[in-house]
Chains A and B, each alone.
Chain A
């Protein structure tokens, strides 16, 4: 039997693994089909059909009507300005933090991270409180106190939209540029210097070309994310009549809904996103300059002299605009009886009582979002684990296809995911439209790429020989997975869970088309309250959102650490048979 097993490749105990592989493959393929492939197919069909017949009318209208061409142009303008400003802010900060002796580098880094995790619609609402043409705090100050009405800045404009979008886009440039700056070994620059190149020439001919692909790649990701932010574009863009693709698509679902046109616009939107991401991948691929290992990377730090205080001041301005201004404003508004009255005489906590205890909509929204974000994070990580495990540990021919399918949502803006799900589920005789379930499907689909990447990184930490030695001692496939793979990959999986939870609890772009009064989410509740003009409860709810996000991050960090500690303890304890 041993001979037979050897000649036929897999040994007898592989039976279980083969069966498990088959089940895993089937589950993953089915899930991705339902979450991504079928909705996308229905989106495609919806864009080229009317009452069951093929037609190109929707595309003709999308590309012919001034309404939609204007939206397309606005989206591109917004994306390009945001990307350009993200480079202007992100690159100097990245350089300062990774390559200079600027003081308080950790503080600058933290500023970027906080800016990154803040929900974009909160920034938008905060800046409306500061810069709306009539009631905005700063505008009132320049007009009434300084007497300089010319300095009034109208946030309800393209410039205002760019202002509230950049804080959520420049972190992408910063993070990619910083890691690129750090990976340039000092000897690369020193060999230019010793050959007679001035510092400026070294920067231009050596450092610049080496980090340029990363910066460009960051700019493209900033672009893609900027044009997809429904919240800021609705809050700041709509009052100023600056329509963009997401807000136009959203408007098409007002009665009477124009599904075909919405599908066509969505596909145009996807086209732009995918084109940008394709360029990004190409530039990032060019970055894979093989560095020849020597003493390991040792980035060169520049002594800026007194100029370092100027750089720090720049970081402080970013901190002020991207973090202090929005948070302080929201906090102040949330404790005012009414925003605009004398502040210190009108302090109150009643808006918190209102959103947390009295108003059933916000109470339900908080509960829903906690459930949805927790479930979506778990499902996305579960599916992500399956897909990456199949990719890393099996030889199935279909595994690459599965991997690609799981990455499709990267090219789908949130609102497009919602449109596609609506197209699919309205034609399927299962009444999930308007329930929490369809929102859960949207979240899981949107964040599956994050799940796959995190799980893949986590499983890469587990050397296959560790699993093989468990198998050799007689453990079955499932036991091996439970006793070896899972515990070792747990810290990475937990980090991935958090990576999905944080954006899911603030998700607005897809939820806005899918919610009902029963399945309302936190972000939608904030948006709806804002629409009714209830500024103070909105601010209170915004602060509550941030508290939940902070608590989730803290909890997950703690859990992750306990997981890691448990792991190292397990490593010391001999595992019985």
Chain B
């Protein structure tokens, strides 16, 4: 296990190196002189030159990258070119909104596991066909399309739920009132439904594969009850790969959360990036993308370590 963790951490360092190199290159590739932007409106040439030197913008690419990573270690993502506020502060304010949505969606996503198992145990039955078809259709629906239809029907026509905004929270992410929870329901269901479809589809496939394997036949042969065979042997082995898939899929979930926020007007990371795109504020875009990527990379690390911990084949596989 230790060897696996070390290997995995080495890989992590490499990935983070690549990711920061890419975001840094993007910052450099954008046309325009960042020193002029940083110095502010109507700055003198001396002032611009001073800022350029102070921020190391007159140094070579490699030195600048080195300085950039050094600033990242201090949590400094630069300042917004539009509002002048530190990107770190913007992210700090926006992140709880996005994290709240992501957690709610993950909780809904878990419903896919029982649905998938049900489908697999009754393969080719009416409900299996219905669930599988629904899953494939939902899987193909872009999150903003589903979001606007949900908003139109439940928000505008039936008037059951608010069509956007966020409410007050305790501990950053837990809605503190019914009104606050209501603002979360539509976005979370929108994002969660698409993930439920995906997870149930994967759980079904995994369960079907496991129930056809030799050790299940052995379990039946030694006289275990059907319940013990399915849940004790089958389900346990079928759910592990799905958890990994869910980990990989977290990237899609984060991306989906970003888009969902623009639909329901939630002031999270997605909304922040969306506004920054319209303002051509590359510092905020790169900062937001980097933040989400770090989150994704570390979440995946935890999932992988958990997977290796429960399934020795993974850590001994190499």
Q: Do A and B come from one complex?
A: no
| B residues apposed to A, CB below 8 Å | none
| A residues apposed to B, CB below 8 Å | none
